[in-house]
Structure 1
Amino acid sequence: MTVRVLLVDDQQLVRAGLRMLCQTADDLEVVGEAASGSEAVRLAEQELPDVVLMDLRMPGMDGIQATERILAARPTVPVVVLTTFDDDDHLYPALAAGASGFLVKDASPEELLAGIRRAAAGDHPFSPEVLRRVMNSAVTSRATTETVARAQVSGLTTREAEVLALVAEGLSNSEIADRLYVGITTVKTHVTNLMAKTGASNRVRLAVLGLGHRPT
């Protein structure tokens, strides 16, 4: 199956580099390029991509607003943010807007291509650096986080607790499956159950709870 990708970045050189990278993969097809948030919204409706790679800082409508608009029209399309380590002011609002993954712009070509494929498959790709930054920021007040985490994960099974710990390490579903010697479908089921039990709205929030739940 070919994954249709929409590239969104206000820098032409960045878009050109991403297009060239995607063209090296037989299973990826770039169906559009947008230099602004408003153009991204239009192309997402027109081209119906399977994955949107979204820059955050753009003039006019930024990536956060564009993500909200795209997901309002097509709630199931994965929007994967391309960001930098120090972009917290945009990172957290993008998470709230519904972004399904965060990759750093200096990720290796292999990591970026794998992230696109994971997003298309329903997974949530996060660069380990981004996930660690989000979790470290979220646990500035360690005692409060641990208290909340204990309350929210108190009813987990042993296997769910194991999966939660690995999510907190930043592992993907396939990596967790390999680590626990189970099928990826089983891992997806556990992650879904964990979100339902803890009330976590996405994988990053689940990872934060997992970090707070770890023994000191």
Structure 2
Amino acid sequence: MTRILLAEDQSLVMQGLKMMIETDDDLRVTGEASDGEIAIKLCEEQWFDVAILDIRMPKIDGLEVAKIIRERWPEMKVLMLTTFNDDEYALEALRIGAHGYMLKDADAEWLIKSIKSCLAGGLQIQGEVAAKVVPRLLHKQKRETSGLNDLLTPREIDILRRIGEGKSNKEIAQDLALSVGTVKNHISGLLDKLELRDRTQLAIYAIRNQIV
């Protein structure tokens, strides 16, 4: 069973999201928080596999809660949720290390898919948000392609490209006819070579350097 923390300050929205999530038998909302302080306290008291955080909450906002979770409980996955289709929020969420960014008007199928994708190591950004965020990432300063080829092996670039596409380790392994363990080893090597913290930063790096 996947244990989920749901942090949302509007009670009706909270219950609606909970009902959608729990239409999947493997997913359970085991913690509910109406503000950021409660969300952090719940994380201190029990373990969650995924934290779904509203961007705008009382006391401590969702971005700050996400930052605290990524620092204190790095194995916990974080999905950001908002009504605001704002690329600045999405960019900041990705900088912090969130594993996905969704709008509150997402349907149950997309919500469940996003949760399962991030658990499998993917990066989920809802289409409307991605349409704004990706072009901005592409226009950021990037390394020269020749330098990247000197730094990474062709296999590492293949894997990095698929991470940028949001694929899980299992999907990458299937694409490249590798074992999941080999893919994990390559990802560890990529993190070391590129001096990045986690898979989300690898995905952003791949997009920023036009590897995808």
Q: What residue is the counterpart of 2:150 in the other structure? A: 154
Residues 154, 71 of structure 1: alpha-carbon distance in 2 compared, 3 angstrom cutoff: same
Q: Give the aligned partner of residue 60 of structure 1.
A: 59
CA change 1:72–1:146 in 2 (3 A) is closer
Structure 1 counterpart of 2:104, one-letter code = K
Tell me, yes or no, if the aligned pair for 1:41 and 1:66 is still in contact at 8 Å. Answer: yes
Contact 2:123–2:166 (8 Å) recurs in 1: no
**2:187 corresponds to:** 191
SS in structure 2 of the partner of residue 96 of structure 1: helix
Q: Distance in 2 between matches of 1:115 and 1:162?
A: 23
Aligned length: 210
What does the per-residue CA deviation read over 1:89-109, in whole Å, with 9 as the maximum and x for residues that have no partner? 322333333323333434443
TM-score (norm. length: structure 2): 0.81
Name the stretch that deviates more: 166-175 or 45-54: 166-175
RMSD between aligned residues: 2.8
Q: CA deviation at 1:54?
A: 1.0
Deviation at 1:57, TM superposition (A): 1.6
Alpha-carbon distance in structure 2 between the residues aligned to 1:93 and 1:201: 16
SS of the counterpart of 1:81?
strand
Task: Give the counterpart letter for 2:123 in structure 1.
Answer: P
Output the CA distance in 2 between the equivalents of 1:18 and 1:71: 23
Range 105-114 or range 20-29, more displaced = 105-114
Question: Residues 119 and 208 (structure 1 numbering): CA distance in 2 closer, same or farther, change over 3 Å?
Answer: closer
Where does the alignment leave 5 or more consecutive residues of structure 1 unmatched? Answer: none
Secondary structure of 2:109's aligned partner: helix
- For 1:111 and 1:188, locate their aligned partners in 2 and report how far apart those are by CA, in whole Å: 26
Alpha-carbon shift at residue 180 of structure 1 (Å): 2.2
Specify every segment of 5 or more residues in structure 2 that has no aligned partner in the other structure, as ranges. none
Q: Cα–Cα, structure 1 residues 171 and 28, in superposed 2: closer, same or farther, change >3 Å?
A: same
Please name the residue that 1:180 is paired with: 176
Residues 128 and 206 of structure 1: is their aligned pair in 2 closer, same or farther, counting only changes over 3 Å? Answer: farther
Tell me the SS of whatever aligns to 1:53: strand
Answering whether residue 125 of structure 2 is matched by residue 127 of structure 1, we say yes
Residue 103 to residue 125, structure 1, CA distance change in 2 (3 Å):
farther
Q: Segments of 4+ in structure 1 off by > 6 A?
A: none
Q: Secondary structure of the equivalent of 2:4?
A: strand
1:50–1:211 Cα change, 3 Å: closer
| Counterpart contact for 1:103–1:125, Cα < 8 Å | no
Asked if structure 2 preserves the Cα contact closer than 8 Å seen for 1:7 and 1:15, the reply is yes
Identity of aligned residues (%): 36
Q: CA deviation at 1:196?
A: 1.8
Contact in 1 for aligned 2:84/2:103 (Cα 8 Å) = yes
Q: Distance in 1 between matches of 2:83 and 2:146?
A: 31
**Is residue 135–residue 207 contact of structure 1 (8 Å, CA) maintained in 2?**
no
Structure 1 distance, partners of 2:174, 2:79, is 24
Moved more, 25-34 or 187-196: 187-196
1:33 Cα deviation from its structure 2 partner: 1.2
Q: 1:5–1:50: 8 Å Cα contact kept in structure 2?
A: yes
Q: Output the TM-score relative to the length of structure 1.
A: 0.80
**2:3 matched to which residue of 1?**
4
Which residue is equivalent to 1:145? 142
